Structure 1
Amino acid sequence: MNTNSNGYTFFFAVAMVLVVAATLAFTATSLQERQYENVRLEKMQNILMTVGVETDREGAEALFNQYITQQVSLNPDGSIDEEVNAFELDLAKELKKPIEEQHFPLYVADIEGKNYYIIPLRGAGLWNAIWGYISLKDDINTIKGATFDHLGETAGLGAEITQMWFRKRFEDERIFDESGALAGVSVIKGYKGGNAKDDNAVDAISGATITGDGVTDMITERLEHYLPYFKKQPTFKVASAY
């Protein structure tokens, strides 16, 4: 074949495209199981982080099995659906369903004899999805800890929701107001409350107002769906306004 001809150039280009495509497809397939495992272990790490248990991926599953005593999938009325695996629930897919068809995963941790309720979160930031986990102490009002992550927030601005200094602002905040109504925790620009933990608010990240609003909204929106379950718990001590 004439290597200087247009036909040869076209044949060579097509061959290279096929070789590269086949290589990429093989690589993606061969790494799929490992990627799934990494996502699974990272999820365990994030859940544990909200209750103060730090671990690397290698130790995540052992500690998860040690400290997480319950994994339940809740129906909208607060009842437990025994047929649904809470850990396998994809919150992004659940949010696309009507509320009455959604399931709400909940994890219960036992740390030194104290129970903590861990709730997955998901919402919208400035550019794309944001998500995380928030844990409540056994009074089902006081936050033990929180983790946040994002798909495409701006580096140095909205992406700072992943940082420890921002997450620590939520520790010991209350999710109910003085009347017993669910207030969540608002991320407020220009917050002047200092270290107050009873005003349902924390200071925002400078220059990341929309991402902060997304954090505010997803906390309240997600927690609201757990109220029917929480009201049935004997440790629920809030004088509810509902």
Structure 2
Amino acid sequence: MNKQNNIYTIVYASVMVIVVAAVLAFTALQLKPKQQKNVEIDKMTQILSSVKISANAENAQELYKKYIVDSYVIDEAGNKLEGKDAFTVDVAVQSKIADDKRELPVFVCRLEDGSEKYILPMYGAGLWGPIWGYVSVDTDGNTIYGAYFAHQGETPGLGAEIEKPEFSDQYAGKHFFVDGTFKSVAVEKKGQKPIDGAEYVDAISGGTITSKGVQTMMQNCIIPYQNFLKSLK
């Protein structure tokens, strides 16, 4: 075949595209189980972080199995939904639908001292992309034990500071219910207080939009758990 012919060029290019596509598809298929495992380990690490347990890729699975003693999915009324796996619920999807239609994951942690904490996932929007996290609550269904926040693309030194302990540690000891009314936890500029009497933490200096994104995320994602939290008292 004449290699200078247009037909040859088209056939050659087509074959190369097919071969490269096949190789890429095969590689992606081979790597998928490992990638999925890494995603699961990262999620375990984040869940554990909300109860102040430091984990890494090497020990996350072991620590998760040790401390997370139960998990289940509930509805807005606080009823358990049978046949649902809390770990695989897509919180990003659930956060965008009506409260009474959501599947709400709950992870139960038992610490070394025997105390139990209930871990609830969150998902929302920051300035440049999605933010997410986990908040752990004491058995009184009101007091926050710990919190963990992460982001996809917030500005380093500003909104990205939500992932730092200096921000998340402020949530420890805060309460969701004030005088019996659910008010979540506000995020305010330093020196300011919410007008509705809700408990609050200081916003990140220069990261106001991301800070408020955390506030909105927590309110949106924890409000549907109200009945469940009340039932713990």
TM over 0.5: yes
2:230, 2:169 → 1: CA distance? 27
Secondary structure of the corresponding residue to residue 86 of structure 2: coil
Q: Report 1:221-232 matches (<5 A).
A: 221-232=220-231
1:206, 1:7 → 2: CA distance? 63
Secondary structure of the corresponding residue to residue 231 of structure 1: helix
1:20, 1:209 → 2: CA distance? 46
Number of the residue aligned with 1:117: 118
Which deviates the most, 147-156 or 104-113?
147-156
Structure 2 portions without partners, runs of 5+ = none
* Equivalent pair of 2:130/2:152 in contact (CA under 8 Å): yes
Match for 1:223: what amino acid? I
Number of the residue aligned with 1:219: 218
**Cα deviation digits, residues 45-80 of structure 1 (max 9, x gap):** 111111111121222222212111220111111111
* Equivalent pair of 2:106/2:120 in contact (CA under 8 Å): yes
Q: Report 1:156-195 matches (<5 A).
A: 156-177=157-178, 179-189=179-189, 191-192=190-191
Number of the residue aligned with 1:151: 152
* Equivalent pair of 2:117/2:136 in contact (CA under 8 Å): yes
Match for 2:141: what amino acid? I
2:99, 2:136 → 1: CA distance? 22
Number of the residue aligned with 1:239: none
Which deviates the most, 215-224 or 166-175?
166-175
Number of the residue aligned with 1:14: 14
Number of the residue aligned with 1:88: 88
Number of the residue aligned with 2:102: 102
**Cα deviation digits, residues 5-47 of structure 1 (max 9, x gap):** 5444444433332232222211111111111111111111111
2:5, 2:81 → 1: CA distance? 67
Number of the residue aligned with 1:30: 30
Rate the CA distance shift 1:81–1:95 in 2: closer, same or farther, 3 A: same
Rate the CA distance shift 1:153–1:48 in 2: closer, same or farther, 3 A: same
Rate the CA distance shift 1:66–1:99 in 2: closer, same or farther, 3 A: same
1:207, 1:18 → 2: CA distance? 49
Number of the residue aligned with 2:203: 204
Match for 1:81: what amino acid? L
1:230, 1:165 → 2: CA distance? 26
2:198, 2:216 → 1: CA distance? 16
Structure 1 portions without partners, runs of 5+ = 237-242
Report sequence identity in percent: 40
1:147, 1:59 → 2: CA distance? 18
Secondary structure of the corresponding residue to residue 174 of structure 2: coil
**Cα deviation digits, residues 177-229 of structure 1 (max 9, x gap):** 3x23222222223x1279xxx96211212222221111001112222111111
* Equivalent pair of 2:50/2:147 in contact (CA under 8 Å): yes
Secondary structure of the corresponding residue to residue 18 of structure 2: helix
Match for 2:18: what amino acid? L
* Equivalent pair of 1:47/1:118 in contact (CA under 8 Å): yes
1:10, 1:162 → 2: CA distance? 51
Match for 1:150: what amino acid? H
Task: Report the TM-score, using the length of structure 2 for normalisation.
Answer: 0.88
1:157 CA displacement = 2.4
Secondary structure of the corresponding residue to residue 58 of structure 1: coil
2:96, 2:182 → 1: CA distance? 24
1:2 CA displacement = 4.0
Compute the RMSD of aligned alpha carbons.
2.2
Aligned length: 229
